[in-house]
Chains A and B, each alone.
Chain A
Amino acid sequence: MTARVINPPRRSLARRAMAASSVVGRMDGVLLVAVAALSVIGTLLVWSSTRTWAPGSTGLVKKHVLNLAIGAVLTGLATMVNHRRLRAYAPLVYAVTFVGLILVITPLGSTVNGAHSWIMLGGGFAFQPSELAKLGLALMLAMLMAQPAKGGERPRGLDVGVSLAVAALTMGMVMLQPDLGTTMVLGVITAAAMIIAGVRKRWVLGLALLVVAGAVGVWFLDVLEPYQIARFTAFLNPASDPRGVGYNSTQSLIAIGSGGLFGKGLFRGGQTTGRFVPEQHTDFVFTVAGEEFGFLGSVTVVALLAVILLRGMRIARRCDDRFGAMTAGVIVCWLAFQSFVNVGMTIGIMPITGLPLPFVSYGGTATFANMIAIGLLQAIHIRQRPF
């Protein structure tokens, strides 16, 4: 005998999730598998790099798995969101994430590794609002740019102005922490949104000039601390100061380079075991892949990232509404930039900035943000109308 299901007027969250299971089949399977594969690899790498913290421990692997589980739920929830409706709520999402950024500068915020970007939740859990701010800004800009205020396809000056104001506000808050890496990601999100929306070239050029001018200004006006500049430029010549700012760069190159073609095997990386690379479970997690899994392993990681980005792009291209396409496109640009900078800094072609590797690095908030982003991509994917 089967229980009769009575549809109440408002379905509970659980029931909507049940219903969503029917959409699992329509999700982008390749994207799902790639994210899952990266998560598994990431778990191994976090395990390898943190198990040495104490004899016989598993390090942070349990917490990482918990983060991933929560992330998977978030992906599912986000998939169920109809992005067309989400557009209306974008300002709300943005506002919520912005409140997070404000909380950081209140006494609730804490400083970790020189960046005042954390809110301690107790019980060993911490929250990093700037990670969610990426998501909030992406949605907000997609909303602002997708439907120009005065109609038509191309955003006008007003749209661009409002967008820039919103972006500047977020970036300003993150700069206060200071978190150079996240600010750069936010900048890329803004640039991507404008380019995809197709603002006039003079705007793009003007903004590019502004960025250059800003960089020059920052350089000459001593806005940045000397250590920030040193850290930023050390990658160009790590040998100049191998014990100081060049240390991270040198050590991560050594770890990755010594991995060779096939790697030294999981838990067998001497550089990892000796903890020569700092922050090896978060920002420098890729060095573990490089050393223990070799070129084949690290290229697999890069390939999986590429698959995710490609699928994301495919979703963006196939989407038939501007908001959906823009959201997907901006998310891809965000993840692409962050992946490139993260991997690039470990192999000496990008400056050292504190950015985690999406889906691989340890870190709750970042994992959640990335997983929600994937959920949004899936949401857009399953709701695209056939051509």
Chain B
Amino acid sequence: MIRVRGRLVVIQVLVMSLMALLAVRLWQVQVVRYAEFTQAATETRTRDVVVPAVRGQILDAAGRPLVRNRTRLVVSVDRTSLNRMAGNGRTVLQRLAAVLNRSPERLRERIRACGPGVTRPCWPGSPYQPIPIDDEVTTREALQILERQEEFPGVTAEVQAVRQYPHGSAAAQALGYLQPITQEELEKREGFKASFSGVDLVGRDGLEAIYDAELRGVPGIRRVQVDRLGKVIGVERQVAPIPGDTLITSIDAKVQAVTEKALAEAMKSAPRADGAAGVVLDVRTGRVLALASAPTYDPKVWTGGISEAEYQRLLSEKSGKPLVSRAIKGQFAPGSTFKISSVSAMLRDGYPLHGQYDCPGSFMVGSRAFSNFHGIGMGTMNLHTALVKSCDTIFYRAAYEQWLRDGGLRPKGSTKQPMAAMARAFGFGRPTGVDLPGESAGRIPDRDWKKQIWEATKEVNCRRAKTGYPEVARTDQSRAAFLKQLAYENCLEGYLLRPGDAANFSIGQGDVLVTPLQLAAAYAALVGDGRLRSPRLGWALVRPDGTMVKEIKVPVVGRLPISVRERDYIRAALSDVPSDGTAAGAFTGFPMNRVRIGGKTGTAEVYGKADTSWFASFAPAGNPRFVVVVMVSQGGMGAETAAPAARKIYEGIYGISPKGGQVPAALPAGRPASEPPVIERDGTVAR
């Protein structure tokens, strides 16, 4: 028995060691690694549900909503919980499809992740967000889902706010659109890294994108407790969302409508027109009253997930790429509308303001003759007439003379390039800085630009100079020869600013490119106080209860380097264009005694295409309030397409019927709003 007891003691020691081991391990798990497991427990037990803040409205200058919210019932599916189920939640989707009266395949398409080789419909957002699969469900359908949650794990039905566009396609490109937040954006955003939200949308373009942070507000968080199956069994804590600010814009819905209508009619009137843009600026403030681009589209298509066909249509050439705002992204040669810059450059360079200038039918720039429009000589004239009648040869001569003074083809030392410098002073060649994304810079083809372009292209040009264009030669022998000669010249001396380049530049032809908004800002500076402003659409941000958050200022970004006298002279000259000059035809019957319009037509040649039609204008001519710029791509003559469209815009603003009579005006008294509308506590607009 002694031996038995001895062995029992050994076993006892062993058993107690095991128990001690358990205690030590428990200490390690529960005390040492407590924080780690607490976090893991929180992660498995709770889900953070982002309660999206109601996105702020976008109002026009009179407080009319351009974008507002409407509520609807949205059914969302949490793909993470579906993937955790057997067969990736096939049965749940089938049940859901039955309730929603859709095919399960459609639902599956809707929730798959977008990516290479996946066509829409697909989910472009974060895989951790519930994916809205039906945003127009009836209360009855929603209740069917909510009351039988155990049959629909991972499926929710919630009331959500969605964007509504009361004016349809009005200012569609300027307003922009919303799309679900992508995983990368979600990760970049502070805080809600593992957030779940079916409506976490971000502004993808236009004002929605620029003022995204302000409009979005601060989402609330609801930390819910879930069980093993993901069923919500309680709410741990809740932080209410702070609704987004309302953005008041200087856009006037009525002026915008008039502008868009004018553009649409201009597009119809010019058979080859493939796009148009219209800009209306408040000259005194630099605020944008209307910014239109044609063709346009109804931003409603974005709401609730866009279909592949619709998306491709919006991107296609055939539909005219309606997503692109031609007012800020379209780059076109400005034609004669650019002469305000050239004439200013001449004055700055010492050409007398009241001098007499010869306007022959053509002018020899180096070895090449550059002609007036139609080649007509108009004798001797002052600069006023030169602008009104749009004489080109005066500008050719000045440009050529300046080019020669700079040292011609091979300048020694620094060059003045007065025309290019003045163009820059007018704001060309760089984005205006408007509060819209994706603005184009335009182009000023000076000597430096030529050098850069030559550096970038010389390799191809020099190769082509040797090999020629055999693929073109097969169909067009002479064109191939021309191209080869061109490549040879470009290879050899493409970095040189040739006299022809300088001459073309002076009348807004050749390589110079501007956007309609740049041109409008330049005209506003010229006919206003001489200050160049970075135009703004946003006017003020206010809380939903009306408290002003901030007024958006219009920054002054430059000052025209010409005197008031010179500016007045040019403005006076332009004031005669619609009555006596190139735009007289378009303004026949317009009551100039009531509102005198000033402006400049532009007809820019585009290789292989119809001319770009321009009209840059202002009114009233004596004391300008508005600048209106209309551009019709492939619209033909400026006087024939753009100028009539601008006339229609003025008619709308001032309430003038086509025959010159009085009709209701978009802006009574011809004055844009001077103060943003006041929002009352209850969200209504007091004027």
- Expressed in whole angstroms, the minimum distance between the Cβ of A138 and any Cβ of chain B is 14
**Distance between Cα atoms of A273 and B236 in the complex (Å):** 13
**Distance between Cα atoms of A295 and B227 in the complex (Å):** 24
- Contacts A253-B29, A340-B19, A343-B22 given; does A258 touch B41 at CB 8 Å: yes
Which residues of chain A have C-beta atoms less than 8 A from B11's C-beta? 192, 195-196, 313, 329, 332-333
B30 sits at the interface (CB 8 A): yes
Which residues of chain B have C-beta atoms less than 8 A from A302's C-beta? 19, 22-23, 26
Residue-by-residue, is A247-277 near B (CB-CB < 8 Å gives 1, otherwise 0)?
A: 0000101111111110000000011011110
A148 sits at the interface (CB 8 A): no
Which residues of chain B have C-beta atoms less than 8 A from A192's C-beta? 11
Partner of B41 from the list A261, A270, A333 (CB cut-off 8 Å) is A270
B37 sits at the interface (CB 8 A): yes
21 residue pairs bridging A and B, Cβ less than 8 Å apart: A196-B4, A198-B3, A254-B40, A257-B30, A257-B33, A260-B34, A260-B38, A261-B31, A273-B227, A274-B226, A274-B227, A275-B228, A276-B45, A302-B22, A309-B12, A309-B16, A313-B12, A332-B12, A332-B15, A336-B19, A347-B25
B449 sits at the interface (CB 8 A): no
- Contacts A261-B31, A270-B225 given; does A340 touch B1 at CB 8 Å: no
Pick from A11-19, A224-232, A318-326 the stretch touching chain B: A318-326
Which residues of chain B have C-beta atoms less than 8 A from A332's C-beta? 11-12, 15
A153 sits at the interface (CB 8 A): yes
**Distance between Cα atoms of A306 and B148 in the complex (Å):** 48
- Expressed in whole angstroms, the minimum distance between the Cβ of B87 and any Cβ of chain A is 15
Which residues of chain B have C-beta atoms less than 8 A from A322's C-beta? 1, 4
Pairwise interchain contact B233-A256, C-beta atoms closer than 8 A: no
B7 sits at the interface (CB 8 A): yes
Partner of B40 from the list A243, A258, A306, A310 (CB cut-off 8 Å) is A258
Which residues of chain B have C-beta atoms less than 8 A from A317's C-beta? 5, 8-9, 12
The winner among B5, B46, B233 for most chain A CB atoms within 10 A is: B5
B302 sits at the interface (CB 8 A): no
**Distance between Cα atoms of A298 and B226 in the complex (Å):** 25
Partner of A196 from the list B7, B40, B84, B233 (CB cut-off 8 Å) is B7
Which residue of B has the minimal Cβ distance to A278? B228
Residue-by-residue, is A299-318 near B (CB-CB < 8 Å gives 1, otherwise 0)?
A: 10011011001100100110
Partner of A325 from the list B4, B19, B31, B233 (CB cut-off 8 Å) is B4
- Expressed in whole angstroms, the minimum distance between the Cβ of A134 and any Cβ of chain B is 17
Which residues of chain B have C-beta atoms less than 8 A from A256's C-beta? 26, 29-30, 37
Which residues of chain A have C-beta atoms less than 8 A from B45's C-beta? 270-271, 274, 276
B27 sits at the interface (CB 8 A): yes
The winner among B9, B19, B226 for most chain A CB atoms within 10 A is: B19
Which residues of chain A have C-beta atoms less than 8 A from B4's C-beta? 196-198, 322, 325-326, 329
- Contacts A198-B7, A274-B45 given; does A257 touch B18 at CB 8 Å: no
Which residue of B has the minimal Cβ distance to A153? B3
B380 sits at the interface (CB 8 A): no
B36 sits at the interface (CB 8 A): yes
A351 sits at the interface (CB 8 A): no
A109 sits at the interface (CB 8 A): no
The winner among B19, B26, B36 for most chain A CB atoms within 10 A is: B26
Which residues of chain B have C-beta atoms less than 8 A from A100's C-beta? none
**Distance between Cα atoms of A243 and B30 in the complex (Å):** 23
A91 sits at the interface (CB 8 A): no
Using a CB-CB cutoff of 8 Å, which residues 33-57 of chain B contact chain A? Answer: 33-34, 36-38, 40-41, 44-46
Which residues of chain B have C-beta atoms less than 8 A from A274's C-beta? 44-45, 225-228, 233
A363 sits at the interface (CB 8 A): no
Residue-by-residue, is A109-145 near B (CB-CB < 8 Å gives 1, otherwise 0)?
A: 0000000000000000000000000000000000000
Pairwise interchain contact B26-A298, C-beta atoms closer than 8 A: yes
Pairwise interchain contact B8-A329, C-beta atoms closer than 8 A: yes
User: How many residues belonging to B are interface residues under a CB distance threshold of 8 Å?
Assistant: 38
**Distance between Cα atoms of A322 and B34 in the complex (Å):** 47
A30 sits at the interface (CB 8 A): no
A354 sits at the interface (CB 8 A): no
**Distance between Cα atoms of A198 and B37 in the complex (Å):** 45
- Contacts A196-B7, A196-B8, A274-B45 given; does A253 touch B227 at CB 8 Å: no
Which residues of chain B have C-beta atoms less than 8 A from A349's C-beta? 21, 25
Which residues of chain B have C-beta atoms less than 8 A from A347's C-beta? 22, 25-26, 29
Pairwise interchain contact B7-A299, C-beta atoms closer than 8 A: no
Residue-by-residue, is B575-618 near A (CB-CB < 8 Å gives 1, otherwise 0)?
A: 00000000000000000000000000000000000000000000
Which residues of chain B have C-beta atoms less than 8 A from A339's C-beta? 19
**Distance between Cα atoms of A257 and B3 in the complex (Å):** 43
- Expressed in whole angstroms, the minimum distance between the Cβ of A278 and any Cβ of chain B is 8
- Expressed in whole angstroms, the minimum distance between the Cβ of B89 and any Cβ of chain A is 15
Pairwise interchain contact B37-A253, C-beta atoms closer than 8 A: yes
Partner of A299 from the list B1, B15, B23 (CB cut-off 8 Å) is B23
- Contacts A198-B3, A256-B37, A271-B45 given; does A276 touch B228 at CB 8 Å: yes
- Contacts A196-B4, A274-B227 given; does A336 touch B40 at CB 8 Å: no
- Expressed in whole angstroms, the minimum distance between the Cβ of B550 and any Cβ of chain A is 44
- Contacts A276-B44, A316-B8, A332-B11 given; does A258 touch B3 at CB 8 Å: no
Partner of A306 from the list B16, B84, B228 (CB cut-off 8 Å) is B16
Which residue of B has the minimal Cβ distance to A332? B15
Residue-by-residue, is B383-420 near A (CB-CB < 8 Å gives 1, otherwise 0)?
A: 00000000000000000000000000000000000000
Partner of B18 from the list A271, A295, A336 (CB cut-off 8 Å) is A336
A364 sits at the interface (CB 8 A): no
A344 sits at the interface (CB 8 A): yes
- Expressed in whole angstroms, the minimum distance between the Cβ of B27 and any Cβ of chain A is 6
Pairwise interchain contact B38-A258, C-beta atoms closer than 8 A: yes
- Expressed in whole angstroms, the minimum distance between the Cβ of A29 and any Cβ of chain B is 20
Using a CB-CB cutoff of 8 Å, which residues 147-181 of chain A contact chain B? Answer: 153
- Contacts A295-B31, A299-B26 given; does A306 touch B19 at CB 8 Å: yes
**Distance between Cα atoms of A192 and B5 in the complex (Å):** 13
Which residues of chain B have C-beta atoms less than 8 A from A275's C-beta? 227-228
Pairwise interchain contact B22-A344, C-beta atoms closer than 8 A: yes
**Distance between Cα atoms of A340 and B21 in the complex (Å):** 9
Partner of A257 from the list B7, B23, B37 (CB cut-off 8 Å) is B37
Residue-by-residue, is A9-27 near B (CB-CB < 8 Å gives 1, otherwise 0)?
A: 0000000000000000000
**Distance between Cα atoms of A243 and B228 in the complex (Å):** 11
Which residue of A has the minimal Cβ distance to B18? A340
Which residues of chain A have C-beta atoms less than 8 A from B44's C-beta? 251, 254, 271, 274, 276
**Distance between Cα atoms of A306 and B21 in the complex (Å):** 12
**Distance between Cα atoms of A152 and B7 in the complex (Å):** 17
Using a CB-CB cutoff of 8 Å, which residues 218-247 of chain B contact chain A? Answer: 225-228, 233
Using a CB-CB cutoff of 8 Å, which residues 86-110 of chain A contact chain B? Answer: none
Which residues of chain A have C-beta atoms less than 8 A from B15's C-beta? 309, 313, 332-333, 336
**Distance between Cα atoms of A295 and B233 in the complex (Å):** 27
Which residues of chain A have C-beta atoms less than 8 A from B33's C-beta? 257
A294 sits at the interface (CB 8 A): yes
Pairwise interchain contact B30-A259, C-beta atoms closer than 8 A: yes
- Contacts A258-B34, A274-B45 given; does A325 touch B228 at CB 8 Å: no
Partner of B26 from the list A198, A254, A295, A336 (CB cut-off 8 Å) is A295
Given A253-B37, A332-B12, 6 new contacts (CB under 8 A): A198-B3, A257-B33, A320-B1, A326-B4, A348-B25, A349-B21
Which residues of chain A have C-beta atoms less than 8 A from B19's C-beta? 302-303, 305-306, 309, 336, 339-340
Which residues of chain A have C-beta atoms less than 8 A from B84's C-beta? 243
Which residues of chain B have C-beta atoms less than 8 A from A356's C-beta? none
Pairwise interchain contact B8-A295, C-beta atoms closer than 8 A: no
A290 sits at the interface (CB 8 A): yes
**Distance between Cα atoms of A95 and B40 in the complex (Å):** 49
Pairwise interchain contact B38-A257, C-beta atoms closer than 8 A: yes
Pairwise interchain contact A254-B228, C-beta atoms closer than 8 A: no
Which residues of chain B have C-beta atoms less than 8 A from A254's C-beta? 37, 40-41, 44
Partner of B8 from the list A298, A299, A303, A325 (CB cut-off 8 Å) is A325
Which residues of chain B have C-beta atoms less than 8 A from A261's C-beta? 30-31, 34
Which residues of chain B have C-beta atoms less than 8 A from A270's C-beta? 41, 45-46, 225
